[in-house]
């Protein structure tokens, strides 16, 4: 009896997702607990695994939006596992089978560099007599969908001559003809590309608009001299890597500095819940990570209880999960404050937007050598602008400035972080 492959529940507030990729195709034999599909939701991407071994039949295509509990395929556990690779044996292919193999080879593409295709897109390619490499990729980079084939075929029909139009023999020396109209009409879709927003992008858009509409966001700025941290990292880096297996980065210093600042100004570690103010007594710090699909904010738990090495290892782990689409819902929940580092992209200054229901977010920026005054003299120092956006309903200006100055002090004199003063 076949086993239904259903969209699982991946979070309390998640009701649907998009099939980002099938890792198997109809007719493939899959092993139990083998990843067969990636589901992209408005929070995370999740790999769906096979419950039992058997032959897979796909009932929903890549790019389809599916509901939690919806049947998207079947696995036949009674089907026999295909025999192993017999490529070294003498071929016994019949003429009909050989013709079919040639057709499939043409459909799938001749090289390993060709984009991936789903069963539906391969059928569309075969019907259109196209190779996968000939079709421009659309909504899913690295893959050709059924819609990509249809759009390409439609464009080809629009630009192809009519069957009733006699073919004209080209003249080798004839110059290129100018268009009759100074503003020739463009084929539909050539100047623009329209595609659905991913669930994650829709979620990001909703969260940002919600933050702007419900919080009284204000931003205060300062700058930090990064000389001390840069000198400390350079001096300790080799021994740190040998002992802990990870590099000592800037983010662990900023997490430690934020924790110290939150302890000094506890109102920033609070949030509004209805008509109540909830003050947190723990320090779970969210760290924004940019991925190809959008910005996600995994949370570092109990940051006040972790060493620099613990923080760096956890940061490397969550960043890798974010890039690979393997974050879980619980990895993103419960943060009390967020740090966003736009400096890795070259941002000099910005005003970060709150991550509701949090009351504060710290924006880091690129390090730039600038002239500053020190002891009556102008010197060149590696400087970073810092931006604190906060909810003015909870935090007053004095408290926000005090918080940011505390962060600045800890960064410019990192011994404060080690000796906790």
User: Could you give the residue numbers annotated as active site?
Assistant: 392, 396
> Strands 54-58, 71-76: parallel, antiparallel or unpaired by DSSP?
antiparallel
> Strands 294-296, 54-58: parallel, antiparallel or unpaired by DSSP?
unpaired
CA distance 2 to 5: 9
Angle at the Cα of 412 from the Cα atoms of 410 and 413, rounded to 5 degrees? 65
Residue (of 83, 93, 96, 387) closest to 217 by Cα position: 387
Residue (of 411, 416, 404) closest to 268 by Cα position: 404
Question: Which residues face 286 on adjacent strands?
Answer: 299, 338
Tokens of residue 396, six digits:
């007053």
Q: Is 219 exposed, middle or buried (0-12, 13-18, 19+ CB in 10 A)?
A: middle
CA distance 73 to 64: 13
Output the CA torsion 406→408→412→413 (10° steps): 10
């Amino acid at each position: 009896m076949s086993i239904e492959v259903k969209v699982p529940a991946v979070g309390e507030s998640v009701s649907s997702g998009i099939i980002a990729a099938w890792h198997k195709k109809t007719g493939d034999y899959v092993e139990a607990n083998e990843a067969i599909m990636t589901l992209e939701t408005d929070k995370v991407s999740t790999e769906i695994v096979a419950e039992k071994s058997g032959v897979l039949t796909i009932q929903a295509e890549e790019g389809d939006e599916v509901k939690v509990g919806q049947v998207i395929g079947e696995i036949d556990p009674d089907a026999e596992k295909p025999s192993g690779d017999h490529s070294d044996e003498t071929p016994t292919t019949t003429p009909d089978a050989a013709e079919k193999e040639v057709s499939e080879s043409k459909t799938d593409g001749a090289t390993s560099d060709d984009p991936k295709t789903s069963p539906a897109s391969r059928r569309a390619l075969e019907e259109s007599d196209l190779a996968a490499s000939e079709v421009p990729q659309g909504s899913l980079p690295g893959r050709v969908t059924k819609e990509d084939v249809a759009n390409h075929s439609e464009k080809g029909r629009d630009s192809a001559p009519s069957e009733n139009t006699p073919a004209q023999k080209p003249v080798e020396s004839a110059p290129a003809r100018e268009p009759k109209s100074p503003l020739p009409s463009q084929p539909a879709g050539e100047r623009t590309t329209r595609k659905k927003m991913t669930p994650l992008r829709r979620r990001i858009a909703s969260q940002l608009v919600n933050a702007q509409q419900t919080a009284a966001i204000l931003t205060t700025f300062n700058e930090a001299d990064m000389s001390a941290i840069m000198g400390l990292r350079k001096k300790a880096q080799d021994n740190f890597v040998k002992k802990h297996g990870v590099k000592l980065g800037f983010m662990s210093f900023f997490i430690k500095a934020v924790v110290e600042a939150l302890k000094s100004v506890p109102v920033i570690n609070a949030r509004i819940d209805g008509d109540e103010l909830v003050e947190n007594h723990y320090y779970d710090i969210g760290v924004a990570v940019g991925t190809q699909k959008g910005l996600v904010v995994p949370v570092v738990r109990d940051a006040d209880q972790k060493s620099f090495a613990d923080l760096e290892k956890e940061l490397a782990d969550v960043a890798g999960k974010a890039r690979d689409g393997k974050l879980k819902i619980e990895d993103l929940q419960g943060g009390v404050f967020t740090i966003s580092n736009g400096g890795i992209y070259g941002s000099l200054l910005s005003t970060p937007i709150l991550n509701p229901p949090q009351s504060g977010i710290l924006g880091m920026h690129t390090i730039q050598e600038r002239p500053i005054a020190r002891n009556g003299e102008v010197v060149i120092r590696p400087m970073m602008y810092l931006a604190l956006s906060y909810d003015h309903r909870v935090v007053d200006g004095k408290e926000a400035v005090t918080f940011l100055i505390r962060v600045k002090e800890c960064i410019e004199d990192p011994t404060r972080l080690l000796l906790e003063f």
